[in-house]
A and B are shown apart, each in its own frame.
Chain A
Amino acid sequence: MSLKFGEISYEDYPSLINDFTAQLMDDKIMGTQCSDCNEKYFPPRTSCENFHKSQSMGFFEVSREAVLKGFTIIHFAPDSHADKAPYVVAIGELADGLKVLAHLVGITSQPKVGMKMKLKAQKINDERAIYKFTPV
């Protein structure tokens, strides 16, 4: 069985996603880092934007501390998420400068840009896992 990211998917995933999701199920949120120039990427990718011959990338664990940069509350959702609306989609900047788009859950009042959040891994079922933000 190959592991998949998120609640829905529209394509056959490459092995990178399987490896990423396997670690996500183990509560590890991994980005990839170029072995040549140390450039970090999240979500993970298989090759560096800076064009090296070796194409060598390795996993590293990303910071869980995040700051909210922008958010929206989706009321009119795509079909795939219609039964979940309203929900908050947020972009957070991690302590290491990488940005992540994910749901922000567990909030009791309107989110505020600049608020501190935590990035958490969540197993959905035996095949799927996702990450999400929660307020600190």
Chain B
Amino acid sequence: MTGIPTIRVESACATGTAAIITAYNMIKSGFRDSVLVIGAEKMTAVDSAVATTLMARAGDLRWEFPFGCSFPGYYALMATSHMAEFGTTKEMLSAVGVKNHHYGAKNKYAHLRKEITLEEAMKAVQIAYPLNIYDCSLISDGGAAVLLTKESMAKKYTDTPIYIDGIGMGSDTMRMSDRASLSELKGTQTAARSAYKMAGIEANDVDIAEVHDCFTIAEILAMEDLGFYEKGTAGPAVLDQQTYIGGKIPINVDGGLKSKGHPLGATGISQAVELRKQLLGEANDRQVDGASVGLSHNVGQTGQFVNVMIYSRGN
């Protein structure tokens, strides 16, 4: 591909969708006809301790990192806050991991293809209380790519194009202690509102969602902040298996970041790849019947970057 113009995009763990949004705008503005969006990450070149140290620096380096708060630690602060405010339990957190491993085991592209029991998930080694190792996404190597092109040219490449119907972006403070509430991600709420508005839909029109479950609590926060559930009701819904295929809103039925893996820059693009399969009915034993609207939710750092994408088969 030498000689083809290239651009590098970086928004921490939301890099993948940031790249898709960048490409979308290059095409919509008429600057380019087609853009190949590639996300790739190699994280296993360093050990987990070094990766933990590097990722902890995604927080406030001057005032919060000196306390040794790891990246799981920041989400754990949100977890204990959510638990105290809404009665969310450790069992509800663990149930997210059990579901994501259940579907990851069926996904041949997943990093950690194994089922786990609720008991295993509850008793695993502690990382940052209340989060244990089965509450944390994986340190993965991986890649994903999508080709974006003009609507008028799409049929040149495929008989079954997928359309970007909505894009929303949001943000939040870098410093955790600057947030009014620890039990929500404001950026997700903002991004979801604008994505739904652009697509002309509401939360309950979404048939399948890929959400940013970097930690189990993050999936619960996303279920609420995306508008699928009222604040405080997502935890019980997880226990009730409402996010399995056949439930109210199937979420991360490719294994999510938890089991499929989380190669940071590839994650948002991998969500698009999975939703394409689902919307075309190509997901085999993980297929959500009749899925026609898919949502992708991608978060960078602890919510400083949030992108929400709405995909469909078009009309």
Residues of A within 8 A of B (CB): 5-11, 13, 17, 43, 69-82, 84-87, 89, 91, 99-103, 112-114, 130
Given contacts A9-B62, A75-B128, 15 further A-B contacts (CB under 8 A): A7-B66, A11-B61, A17-B62, A43-B63, A70-B78, A72-B77, A72-B129, A72-B130, A76-B126, A78-B68, A82-B49, A89-B68, A101-B64, A101-B69, A113-B85
C-alpha spacing A123/B7, complex, angstroms? 48
Query: B84 on the interface (CB 8 Å rule)?
Result: yes
**Considering only CB atoms, which chain B residue lies closest to A5 in the complex?**
B66
**Considering only CB atoms, which chain B residue lies closest to A88 in the complex?**
B129
Query: B194 on the interface (CB 8 Å rule)?
Result: no
Whether the pair B53, A89 counts as a contact (CB closer than 8 A) is no
Whether the pair B66, A75 counts as a contact (CB closer than 8 A) is no
Q: A72-B129, A79-B49, A89-B69 are in contact. Are A5 and B178 (CB under 8 A)?
A: no
Whether the pair B62, A11 counts as a contact (CB closer than 8 A) is yes
C-alpha spacing A16/B77, complex, angstroms? 28
**Considering only CB atoms, which chain B residue lies closest to A87 in the complex?**
B68
A134 to chain B, nearest CB (A): 15
Q: How large is the interface on B (under 10, 10 to 19, 20 to 34, 35 or more residues)?
A: 35 or more
C-alpha spacing A81/B57, complex, angstroms? 13
Query: B228 on the interface (CB 8 Å rule)?
Result: no
**Chain B interface, DSSP helix/strand/loop, else mixed:** helix
Query: B50 on the interface (CB 8 Å rule)?
Result: yes
Within 8 A of A (CB), among B125-145: 125-131
**Considering only CB atoms, which chain B residue lies closest to A111 in the complex?**
B80
Instruction: Specify which chain B residues have a CB less than 8 angstroms from the CB of A7 in the assembled complex.
Output: 66
Instruction: Specify which chain A residues have a CB less than 8 angstroms from the CB of B63 in the assembled complex.
Output: 5, 43, 101
**Considering only CB atoms, which chain B residue lies closest to A99 in the complex?**
B177
Instruction: Specify which chain B residues have a CB less than 8 angstroms from the CB of A73 in the assembled complex.
Output: 76, 126, 128-129
Query: B182 on the interface (CB 8 Å rule)?
Result: yes
Query: B227 on the interface (CB 8 Å rule)?
Result: no
What does the 1/0 interface line of B167-179 toward A look like (CB < 8 Å)?
0000000011111
Within 8 A of A (CB), among B157-187: 175-179, 182
Whether the pair B73, A69 counts as a contact (CB closer than 8 A) is no
**Considering only CB atoms, which chain B residue lies closest to A75 in the complex?**
B126
Instruction: Specify which chain B residues have a CB less than 8 angstroms from the CB of A71 in the assembled complex.
Output: 77, 80
C-alpha spacing A130/B64, complex, angstroms? 11
8 Å CB contact of B127 from A8, A70, A76, A84: A76
Q: 6 closest A-B pairs (Cβ-Cβ)?
A: A6-B66, A81-B68, A72-B76, A113-B84, A70-B81, A73-B129
Q: A72-B128, A74-B73 are in contact. Are A113 and B68 (CB under 8 A)?
A: no
Residue pairs across A and B with Cβ atoms less than 8 A apart, 10 shown, are: A10-B57, A73-B129, A74-B70, A74-B128, A76-B72, A86-B126, A91-B177, A101-B177, A112-B84, A113-B80
C-alpha spacing A80/B130, complex, angstroms? 22
Within 8 A of A (CB), among B28-50: 48-50
Residues of B within 8 A of A (CB): 48-50, 52-53, 56-57, 60-70, 72-73, 76-81, 83-85, 125-131, 175-179, 182
Q: A79-B50, A80-B53 are in contact. Are A5 and B69 (CB under 8 A)?
A: no
Instruction: Specify which chain B residues have a CB less than 8 angstroms from the CB of A17 in the assembled complex.
Output: 62
A67 to chain B, nearest CB (A): 11
Instruction: Specify which chain A residues have a CB less than 8 angstroms from the CB of B80 in the assembled complex.
Output: 70-72, 113
C-alpha spacing A11/B78, complex, angstroms? 28
C-alpha spacing A75/B131, complex, angstroms? 10
B220 to chain A, nearest CB (A): 15
B235 to chain A, nearest CB (A): 16
Instruction: Specify which chain B residues have a CB less than 8 angstroms from the CB of A9 in the assembled complex.
Output: 62, 66
Whether the pair B129, A69 counts as a contact (CB closer than 8 A) is no
Most B CB contacts (10 A, CB to CB) among A13, A81, A84 go to: A81
Instruction: Specify which chain B residues have a CB less than 8 angstroms from the CB of A6 in the assembled complex.
Output: 66-67
